[in-house]
Structure 1
Amino acid sequence: MTETTATPETTEPEVLTEIDGNVLVITLNRPKAKNAANAAMAQQMDAILTEFEANDSLYAAVITGAGKTFCSGMDLKGFLKGEKPSIEGKGFLALTQQTISKPVIAAVEGYALAGGFETMLACDMVVAADTAKFGIPEVKRGLAAAAGGLVTLPQRTHRAVAMEMALTGDIYPATFGKENGFVNRIVEDGKALEGALELARTIAANGPLAVKASKRIIVESIDWSTEEKFAKQQEIVDPVFVSADAKEGATAFAEKRAPQWTGK
C-alpha cells in the first residue's frame, strides 16, 4: 500500500496508510483542521479503499484520525468554495454509500461529528476512547445529515435515538454510543487505535473467505424475507465450505497448529 500524493498546499497527504501484518491502518491526516474532510481527502480515500479491496494479503482495515480527533465532518471552507468531500456513487470519503467486502473498524479519539460520525457508521465496528464525542449537528448549520446519519443510524440503533440525534444536533459521549449500540468497545483515552488493532488482528487471524462471507450475509440479510434467508445464505457459504481454507482450518485444528490461509 503506497501513500497518496499530497496536494500543493500541504506537506504530506491528507490520508496516510500503514500496514500492520494483514491489517491496513488508514489515518485521516488534517489535524490542524480537526481532520475536516475536503475533496482531496475523499479522492485519496477512494484510491486507498480500491487498492485495499484488490489486495488479497490485507484482511481488515482500521480507520483513525491524526491529532486526537477522528473527523469533524465536512470542511465548511471547502464547501463554500463548491468542494464536495465525496465520490459519486461511493459517498462521503468514498465510504458511506458503498460496502467494503472486508471488515473495517473505526478507531475514534476526540470528535466524530457530522460526516465524520457518518464515516464511522459506515465502518463495521467502532472502538472509541472514553473521551470520544459523537454527533450529527448538521441541523444547527441549516443542513441535513445526508451521508448516513438519517438512513444508516436508524439501522445501528433505536429509531428514537436516531431521531433525537438528528433533530437536536447535540453532542453525545462515548458511553451513549456503547449503550445505544453503535460503539463496540470503549478504551482509555489515547488507546483507540491500539484497541482497534487488537480487534482487527483477531479478525485477520481467521479465514478470510469465511470472514468476508459472514460480513456479506450480515449486511445483505437485512433485506431478506424469512422464507428466503436460509437459501440466500447457503448460496454465499457453500463456496466457503468447499474451499482450500476450510480444509486447512480443519487440518490445522487436528494438528494443533495455526492455520496458513490462502484465501482460496
Structure 2
Amino acid sequence: MNRRLLLAAGCLALLAVTSGCLGIGTGPVDPEQLDSEPAAAYEWESNRTAHIAIQENTQFRTVLETNSTTVELYREDGFGGTNPLSVEAVRYRYPDGTVLTGTEIREEGGEIRRTRDETVVELPDDAPASGGSLAFTSGGTPKRFTLPTYVDGTYEVVLPPDRRIDFPVFGQVSPRNYEATIDEQSRVHIVWAEPVTTDSISVQFYLQRDLYIFGGIAALVVLVGVGGLLYYRRQIDRLRRQRHEMGIDVEVEDDDDGPPPGMR
C-alpha cells in the first residue's frame, strides 16, 4: 500500500511540474540572460512590422514594432495551451533611436518576467504605445521555424545562407501569400508585404546540399533495384537452361496405339 501511495504521489508531482502548477521557472528573467549580446546586430530599419533572422545554430533574432506597452511572448504547446518563450539579449528601441538593454528596461519602470503560459515584457514607463521596437533572441528547431504572430502587420523571415524553400516536401511556407528573394550572401528573404492575418507563420527549409544527398540516395536505390531485377532475370534464365538440359522441359510424343486387344 505504501508503494502505491508513493507512486501516486510521484505521478501527481510529475503532472504538477509538467503543467506548471508549481510555478517552477516563473518570475523575473535573469539579468545576464537579458543583457547578453545578440549573435549579430538587430535589424532595426527593416521597414517591416516584424523582422526575423534565423541563425545557423537554430536560434533566431526578432525585431517587433510595438503597438502596446505590454508584449506577451509564447509558443503553443500542441494541447490548446501555451508555454513561455525563452528570450535573451532583449533590447528596446525608442522612436528617437535610443536603445535600452533588458536591465535598463527594468530601471526605467519596465519588467520582463515568465509566467506559466508566457513571457511578459512591460516596456518602460515613458515608452510610447506605438513607434518603438522590441528585439530579442530565442531558440527554434532545425530546418523548421514556427512562431505566433505577436503583432499585426507585415513580416519578413531571413534564412541562413544556402537554405532554400523551393523544392516541394522539403520546403514549405505558410501563409502562402509571400514573396521570396535571394541576397548577395545567399540568404532567402521571405516577405509578407500585406498584413498577416493568420495566428502564426511557418517556414520549413533545407540546405541546398540536402537535395544532392537525397538525389544520390535515390539514385543508389534505383541502381540496387535495377541490379536486383537483372540478377533475378539471370537466375530465371539459368534455371530454364538447366531444366532444358535435364529434359524436364522436353515434350515426349505419345506413340502408344492404346491398350492391347481385348482391353479396349
TM-score range, shorter chain: under 0.3
Larger of the two Rg values belongs to structure: 2
Higher RCO (C-alpha under 8 Å, 6+ residues apart): 2
In proportion to residue count, which structure has more strand? 2
Q: TM-score, normalised by structure 2?
A: 0.23
TM-score (norm. length: structure 1):
0.23
